[in-house]
Amino acid sequence: MYPVFSYNIGHEEIDAAVKALKGKSLTRGTYTEKFQYNFSKYIGSKHCLVVNSGTSSLETALELLQLDRGGEIIMPSLTCRAAVDAVILKGGTPVFVDIDPDYFFLNPVKAAEAISSKTKAIMVVHLYGGTGDIKKISSIATNHHVSLIEDCAHSVGSEFDNRKLGSFGNLASFSFYQIKPMTTGGEGGALLLKEDMLYKKGCYLVGTTDFGHRSELKNWQSIISEKSAQFSYPGHNLRMTEMQAAIGLVQLKKVDKLNRKRRVIAGKIDEIFSAYSKYITIPKIHPKARHSFYVYTAKINSNYKEWRNKLMRSFFKNGIMTSLMYCPPQHLQKVYRGKIKVGQLRQTETISKQILSIPVNPYLERKKLNDFLNKVEKSMKVFK
Ligand SMILES: Cc1ncc(COP(=O)(O)O)c(C=O)c1O
């Protein structure tokens, strides 16, 4: 069976992990520092805080915005529940607005209309490795003096207008969970920050500063100095280990090559699907975007329930798992009732019934890839 998501930990990652385990420190050391430096440089942001998950990174971003004072976050409902949970758990209110159905991306006009005096930020998600006009959303956020958070969990290395996603927002969140475009060995995340003050505070929230590690201070005087014993904010421990950072450094070097392969595979699936354009629409890529195809998400054209079930069954019978990301959309989850604000979400509701994600596995060798593509073609014949 071809799973929807895949990962690959090779000998380089294992060697790096072992080396880190034999190093001077198991946490808060040189691997973490280097990974933070390399990752922020790769994306093009000023600061990076690596953490233990994408959820922790989103929660830190939202905690920095002090939602507990009654803030609203404008966001799409077609997203991972982690984003919605993070807003609610940090005391804020998700304000769901509709998406542009072409790119599965927050509709800029609707986002602008939803801004109120309570808005703290617009949070976008770059779904499936693609994006919409993030520049337009960024100017809306700037003009209205609200923050922009990018959830880049699906899109390490994707671009808009020759800039990496994650470099547009004041805050950008990444997940290194095992099935994401790159992993730090199962769990992990990163928060990118542009502003020095937010970064300083973020260090406390994540737990990289003053956390009872007095022995690490420079000399004995500093151990007993009043000043060094003071801390500025209450925080958590969301830290990544040295071993995770060492694995992340290796995976980061591979991500561009893997993304190129993902684009080639997506092109081949496009070719197969194009013969079935009466039934299914291939993913549209924004003219300024560089997609990285975390998954290949197409849209069923009509008779959504019947055709999508038929297709999913056919893929399964041929040994390919498929996924519905995200159906139902989050505003229809009963658990959020009374905790969210919902506008007209016509596109979101329709899209969630249409979407079907199929795997894009860049680790497949040529023979296996041909087998996979043959099975995709065979699965589509259910429409003949
Ligand atoms: C879009 C999106 N945001 C955030 C997350 C949360 O990341 P993590 O699983 O690392 O906590 C995910 C996770 O799977 C995701 O798909």
> Average pLDDT for consecutive 10-residue bins of the chain (384 residues)?
96 98 94 98 98 98 88 98 97 97 98 97 98 98 98 98 98 98 98 96 86 50 62 88 98 98 98 97 98 98 97 98 97 96 95 98 98 98 92
Domain boundary among 238, 253, 268: 253
State the pTM of this model. Answer: 0.96
Together in a domain, 245 and 270: no
Together in a domain, 284 and 193: no
Alpha-carbon radius of gyration of the chain: 22
The pLDDT score that the predictor gives to residue 208 is 80
Instruction: Tell me if 32 is assigned to some domain.
Output: yes
Distance 176 CA to ligand 1 centre (A): 8
The pLDDT score that the predictor gives to residue 231 is 74
- From the CA of 179, give the closest atom in ligand 1: 14
pLDDT digits (tens, 9 = 90+) for 226-284: 666 677 788 999 999 999 999 999 999 999 999 999 999 999 999 999 999 999 999 99
For ligand 1, which residues put their CB under 6 angstroms from it?
Answer: 53-55, 58, 79-80, 82-83, 125, 151, 153-154, 175, 177, 189
Instruction: Tell me if 77 is assigned to some domain.
Output: yes
Together in a domain, 34 and 120: yes
Mean pLDDT of the chain: 94
Domain boundary among 224, 253, 282: 253
Together in a domain, 22 and 107: yes
Instruction: Tell me if 1 is assigned to some domain.
Output: no
Distance 51 CA to ligand 1 centre (A): 13
Together in a domain, 340 and 367: yes
The pLDDT score that the predictor gives to residue 355 is 98
Q: How far is CA 204 from CA 121, 167, 194, 222, 230, in A?
A: 21, 23, 16, 19, 12
Written as six digits, the tokens of 208 are 């990289």
Together in a domain, 110 and 215: yes
Q: How many helices, marked H, and strands, marked E, lie in the chain?
A: 12, 16
Together in a domain, 96 and 32: yes
Please return the burial class of 366, using the count of CB atoms within 10 Å of its CB with bins 0-12, 13-18 and 19+. Answer: exposed
Domain boundary among 203, 225, 253: 253
Instruction: Find the CATH number of the domain harbouring 208.
Output: 3.40.640.10
**Which run of H or E residues covers position 280?**
strand 280-281
The pLDDT score that the predictor gives to residue 186 is 98
Phi, psi values for residue 32, rounded to 5°: -60, -45
317: domain range?
A: 255-383
Which residue, among 181, 354, 361, 352, has the nearest Cα to 282 in the 3D structure?
354
Provide, rounded to the nearest whole percent, the portion of the chain with pLDDT above 90: 91
Together in a domain, 213 and 299: no
Q: Whose CA is nearest to atom 10 of ligand 1?
A: 54
Instruction: Tell me if 180 is assigned to some domain.
Output: yes
Best substitution site from 57, 85, 175, 292 to test ligand 1's pocket, by max atoms within 8 Å of Cβ? 175
Together in a domain, 224 and 262: no
Instruction: Tell me if 4 is assigned to some domain.
Output: no
